[in-house]
Structure 1
C-alpha cells in the first residue's frame, strides 16, 4: 500500500518520523521507579530513601510528572488521529476499487483543487513583499504558486477527512488528559453542575482582565451547566497582584467577593492601596473590619495555598483554566472553551 503524501503526514503529525513510528508498536523499556523505601544513598551508615529524595523535590517532582504524562497523552492523541485518518482513507480507497491508496488520495485532492490563479500569486507576492528578501516577482512566482497549490490540497484533505469522518461515524474513546485540581475557593454555579471551570489568575495581568469577558460569555452560554471557581495565582513580577487578591478575599468576608473581583479587573492597570480602599468604600464594606482583614496573616497563607495548588497543576502563567480537569492555558477565545465543554457534555459517564 502506498503511503499518504508527505505533506499530509506532516499536517497530521508534524513530522514524518512520528507518522512512521505510529505504524509499529515498539516495546518500550520499563522505567519503573525504585520503591519509596528503597535506599538510594547512605551517609555515615545512615540511609537516604527515595521517598526522602521525592520529598526534597516537592512541587518540582509533581510538575515533572505532570509534564511527562501530558506529553505522552499528546503523542498518543496525535498518533490516534493519524491512525483514524489512515483508516478512513484506506476504507474509502478500497470502496472505490482503487489498488493504490496514495494514488487515489492524490486524485481526490487534485480533482478538488482548482489550478492556482496567477492573480492570486501576484496578490500573495504584493502582500508579503517585505518577506521576499528583495527577490523580484519573476523569481518568486514559481515557489508561491507551489505554496498556494499545497495550501489548497491541505484544505481539500481536511474537507475530505471531515466528510469521511461524518459518513463513518467515528467515535473517539480515548479519555482526555485531566489533572486533579481541587475546586476550592470562591465559586458561582450549582455544586453538582456537569462542568467545573477553574481559573487561576492574577488581578494585575492584562490577559486575565480580558479573559473575564470570555468567562462571562461562556457562563452565559451554558448557565447552570457550569460551576465557576476562581483561584488566585499572583505572578511574582506583579507587585500589586497579591494585595489585590487579599482585597477580594476580605470583600468575600462581607459577602461582596464577586463585586470586588469584577471591580479589581476593571481597574487592573491602576491597582494599589488607594484603589482597594476606594472600591471597598463604594461596595459599602465595613472599613474597620476590612482593614483588619487586610492585615491578617491568614489571608496570605490562604493565598499561598492557591499558588501551591496552581504550581502542582503545572500553572506557570496566567490565566490558566481547567475544565473538568482538562487544562486550557492563556486568554483563549470562547470557541476554545465551547469545544471542550461540548465534548464533556456529550461524553458518556466515566469516560
Structure 2
C-alpha cells in the first residue's frame, strides 16, 4: 500500500458534512488575525482533522519514546544504587541472569516464518536466536520498568493527543450505486494508477455480487500525485464520465488495464458510449480538478493516508476484510429494533 505524504493545501472553509469534536479548552484560541477576521484553533482542527492528529501523534510518540528511555535509565540507576551495586552488576543480576535462553521449540516456531531457502543456514539460526534473546531481555526490562515506576512513583506527564471524532461522509453528487436505504454503505477512496487499488476491485465485485440489494457503494478520489502522475487526470476523466451517467463503467475500464494516457480516456469514452465532444472538453478544461482536490483534503481529514482506503459504515476496513465487515454490519442492522 502506498502513502500520501504531507498535506496538499490548507483549507480555511470547513468542508460540509463531517462531525468534529475539538478540545474544548482550545477551540476559540486565535491562531491568526487578518484585520478583524480571526482564524481559531477550532477552525484549523476542523479543516485538518485526522491529518493534524496523525502529525501530532507522531510527534507525541517521538517525545514519549525519549521520555520512557530517560525515566527507565534513572529508575535503573536509582535501584542499583539502593542495592549497593554498580549499574552493570545490577543489570547482570536482575536482567541477564533472569532471562532464559530461547528454547528449541521457540527457535523452530520462528524459523517456520523464514523463507525455506534461508531457514537452514547457520547465519539465519544465529539471527533468530539473537532476536528471540533480545525479545526476552526487552520483556524483562519492561517488567522491571513497571515495578520500579510504582516503587519510585514515576509518572509520565506528557499529554497524549486525542483523536478527533470525525465521521467519513460523502456529498449527494458523489458517484454512488446501490439502494438509498441500504443497511451498509462502502465509501472508497481510490487512485486509478495504484496497483493495490486495482487488486482491491476483485474484493469489491465479490461483495457487490453477494449483497447487491443491501450495500451502497460510493467512490471518492485520492490520487497519490507524487508517485502516480496520471492518477489525477484519470480521476478527473472519471468524473467527466459521471456527468454523462457512465462513472462506474469508466471506473471499471480505468482499472481493467490501467492505461491512463489522454488517448486511452478518449477510447474508453467511445467504448462507454459517451458524447465525445462533451467528454473531451470536460477533460481539457479540467472541469473537476477542484473536486478531486476537495476529495483529497476530505480524505486526509478522515485519516486516509494511502490507497485504497475503504470505510464500511464509517469504519476503516482493509479491502481483504470487506466481506466480513459487511456481514457484521448487516447482522447489526438485523438485530437492531425496528423503528
Which range, TM-score by smaller chain?
0.5 to 0.7
Q: 2:238 aligns with which of 231, 248, 271?
A: 248
Give 1:232 shift: 0.9
Partner of 1:296: 285
- How many residues are matched? 234
Query: How does 1:73-84 map onto structure 2 within 5 Å?
Result: none
Look up the SS of the partner of 1:197 in the other structure: strand
Moved more, 177-186 or 319-328: 177-186
Structure 1 CA distance, aligned partners of 2:170 and 2:208? 20
**Counterparts in 2 of 1:77-92, with a 5 A limit?**
none
Higher relative contact order (CA 8 A, sep 6+): 2
For 1:226 and 1:320, locate their aligned partners in 2 and report how far apart those are by CA, in whole Å. 17
Distance 1:302 1:41, change over 3 A: closer
Give the match for residue 342 of structure 1.
327
Distance 1:239 1:220 in 2: 32
| 1:60 pairs with 2:48 | yes
Q: Structure 2 vs 1, CA of residues 338 and 292 (structure 1 numbering), >3 Å: closer, same or farther?
A: same
For 1:229, what is the secondary structure of its paired residue?
A: strand
Against the structure 1 CA distance between its residues 279 and 298, is the aligned structure 2 distance closer, same or farther, given a 3 Å change threshold? closer
What residue is the counterpart of 1:203 in the other structure? 192
Alpha-carbon distance in structure 2 between the residues aligned to 1:325 and 1:131: 47
1:231 and 2:225 aligned: no
The answer to whether the 8 Å contact 2:187/2:217 transfers is yes
What SS does structure 2 have at the residue aligned with 1:223?
Answer: coil
After superposition, give the CA deviation of every residue in 1:81-127 in whole Å (9 maximum; x if it has no partner): xxxxxxxxxxxxxxxxxxxxxxxxxxxxxxxxxxx99xx78x95994
Specify the SS of the correspondent of 1:215: helix
Which residue in the other structure is 2:170 paired with?
182
How far apart, CA to CA, are the structure 1 residues paired with 2:33 and 2:293? 35
1:297-316 counterparts in 2 under 5 A? 297-316=286-305
Q: Which runs of 5+ in 2 are unaligned?
A: 1-22, 58-103, 137-164
Structure 1: 4+ residue segments shifted above 4 A: 38-43, 46-49, 65-69, 123-126
Q: CA deviation at 1:253?
A: 2.0
**What is the CA-CA distance between 1:337 and the residue it aligns to?**
1.5
Where does 1:127-206 land on structure 2 (aligned, <5 Å)? 127=116, 129=119, 132-133=122-123, 135=125, 179-182=167-170, 184=172, 185-206=174-195
Native 8 Å contact 1:54 1:61 kept in 2: no
More helix by share: 1
Q: Secondary structure at the match of 2:296?
A: helix
What is the TM-score normalised by the length of structure 1?
0.55
**SS class of match (1:224):** coil
Q: Equivalent residue of 1:276, what SS?
A: helix
Taking the aligned partners of 2:307 and 2:185, their CA distance within structure 1 comes to 18
- Backbone CA RMSD of aligned residues: 4.1
